[in-house]
Amino acid sequence: MYKRPVRLLFVHRRGEKTELDAARTALEVATRHNGWIEARRTALDDAEGSLVWADLVLTLGECPCPPLPAHAQHRHWPELRQAAIEERLAGVVGGLRLLSRLDEDLGSAL
């Protein structure tokens, strides 16, 4: 694991069933990567309290980005199919694994 699990916050618009379903799918897929990802979902109008927790805010579908705290990054995922969500989360975990290996290599070189 790289330092600690990355905290992903999936944000959707309230009442948008497609976005809500995608957020649920994303949470389900994220649990398969236990140890690498901590994930939550929230409706856009309830997001304020969760934004402080998140490292990466992922807006889904047509959801706009809420104002972010300085430490958080934002990515927009317009594609809501399960396969696309799985592919993107696998990419996030792959990047974390790469950072973890680089960190280990640098640590052993010292």
pLDDT score of 42 more than 60: yes
Residue 75 falls inside a structural domain: yes
Q: What pTM does this model have?
A: 0.87
Residue 1 falls inside a structural domain: no
Residue 84 falls inside a structural domain: yes
Report CA 61 to chain centroid distance, whole Å. 14
Does residue 12 contact residue 46 with C-beta atoms inside 8 Å?
A: no
Q: For residue 2, what pLDDT band results from cuts at 50, 70 and 90? A: low
Q: What is the number of structural domains in the chain?
A: 1
Kindly report the CATH number assigned to the domain that includes residue 14. Answer: 3.40.50.2300
Q: Give the total residue count for the chain.
A: 110
pLDDT score of 59 more than 70: yes
Q: For residue 109, what pLDDT band results from cuts at 50, 70 and 90? A: low
- Burial of residue 11, with CB atoms counted within 10 A of its CB: 0-12 exposed, 13-18 middle, 19 or more buried: buried
More confident residue, 104 or 98: 98
- Token readout for 86 is 């799985």
Residue 68 falls inside a structural domain: yes
The range of the structural domain enclosing residue 23 comes to 6-109
